[in-house]
Amino acid sequence: METLDINAIRETLPHRYPMLLVDRVLELEPGVRIKAIKNVTINEPFFPGHFPHYPVMPGVLIVEALAQASAIVAYRADPAAMGGRKLFLFAGIDDARFKRQVVPGDTLVLESTFLKGMRDIAKYAVRATVDGQLACEATLLSVLRPAPGAD
């Protein structure tokens, strides 16, 4: 079981501030599953414009954080894809449900489990929780494609 700090995450994912939404990996089985966290702070760049008087993390960014966690599962299983040499792209989002608001001060626990795949297409069961309460769950479909200009 691996753990990753922010430096290892930055070596794995091509995302950078303000779009890097995974702060630490608590558990990782490359190609199988991940448990990671996103610390949600009032300093997030989206809060000033997303309900300024009642800051709530946008659902689409919760799903993006889950996709980034899933990408770590894929990239760490294929080191030749890491660091932006291949792009982990959405191919579909099914059965997304939001059950709890995510607000500043929350620690969002991101979990993703590889379900099945063929060639560069994969399916993941994902869920995000706060204090053990379900915030979001979905099934994500992804495709791994060479990045333009990557070696």
* 53 tagged catalytic: no
SS3 for 133? strand
The contacts of residue 92 (CB under 8 Å, 6+ apart) are: 140, 141
Selected catalytic residue, list 50, 85, 100, 127: 50
- Rounded distance, CA 62 to CA 38, Å? 9
Structure token pair of residue 107? 């620690």
What is each CA distance from 44 to 39, 92, 100, 106, 127, in whole angstroms? 10, 26, 19, 12, 21
Among the listed residues 137, 111, 134, 130, the one whose alpha carbon sits nearest the alpha carbon of residue 39 = 130
SS3 for 74? helix
- The residues assigned a catalytic role are 50
